[in-house]
Structure formats: C-alpha cells, structure tokens
C-alpha cells in the first residue's frame, strides 16, 4: 500500500491511482480513508472508468455499513458512467448492472432486477 501512497503523492491528479489506493485501503479495513480516496477518484475522473470503479467500491462500503439506499445509489452512478462510456464508443463494463441485479434479488425484488437486466441490454452491456 505504501507504493500506492507514493504514486498518489507523485501524481495527485490520477483518478486511477486514487481508485487503486481506495481499494487497497478498503482491503486493509481502513474504510473511512478508502471512502475519501474513492470520492477523490470520482471527482478527478470526470465520468471515466476510474469513476465507475470508485462508485463500485463506494457501493461495497455502503453495503458493509448496512446503508442499502446508498449502495443502490452508488451502483446506479456507476451504471450512468458506463452508459456514457458506451455512447462514447467504449464497451461498457457489465459489473455495475450485475451488482444492481444481485442487490435487488437479495432484497426479493425480482421486478426491479428484471428492469435492470433490460436496462443493461439497451445500454449494450455484455
């Protein structure tokens, strides 16, 4: 993790480095620091893939705290980014859609899960 901290110090403007550091901090059980780094990644990424990655981590952190609505909001934010990337010609990452479907299925909301599956198909998520 120290190497990631040095890399971030060297390139403070890199959303990818902030997202990677956030993931490492989360794995180390440093959730508050992880959340801060993930939010920096979102702010710096301006809707790029690192922002989607950071929103997925923020969803994980919210889920761990039992903040269900926040988890769903973060997953939807990641999906919006992936949709925009798809419109820009990049292949969207299907992970945010999968995670949102799983969250709805865990809650017993099959109708919402099916709506998300349809949303993924229209967005071109594999």
Tell me: pLDDT of 126 over 80: no
pLDDT in tens, 67-121: 999 999 999 999 999 999 999 999 899 999 999 999 999 999 999 999 999 988 8
Tokens 């798809």 belong to which residue? 86
Structural domains of the chain in order of their starting residue, each with its CATH number: 2-123 (1.25.40.10)
| Tokens read off for 66 | 């039992």
* pTM for this prediction: 0.91
| Section 20-45 average pLDDT | 96
Q: How confident is the model at residue 88, as a pLDDT? A: 92
Q: What is the per-residue burial (b if ≥16 Cβ within 10 Å, else e) of 62-94?
A: bbeeeeeeebbebbbbbbbbbbbbeeeeeebbb
| Section 47-66 average pLDDT | 96
Q: Are 125 and 109 in contact (CB under 8 A)?
A: no
């Amino acid at each position: 993790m120290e190497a990631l901290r040095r890399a971030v110090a060297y390139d403070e403007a890199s959303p990818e480095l902030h997202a990677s550091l956030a993931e490492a901090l989360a794995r180390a059980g440093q959730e508050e620091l992880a959340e801060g780094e993930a939010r920096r990644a979102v702010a710096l990424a301006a809707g790029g893939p690192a922002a989607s990655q950071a929103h997925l981590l923020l969803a994980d952190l919210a889920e761990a705290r039992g903040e269900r609505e926040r988890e769903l909001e973060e997953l939807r934010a990641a999906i919006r980014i992936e949709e925009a990337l798809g419109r820009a010609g990049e292949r969207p990452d299907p992970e945010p859609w999968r995670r949102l479907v799983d969250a709805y299925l865990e809650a017993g909301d099959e109708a919402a899960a099916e709506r998300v599956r349809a949303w993924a198909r229209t967005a071109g998520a594999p």
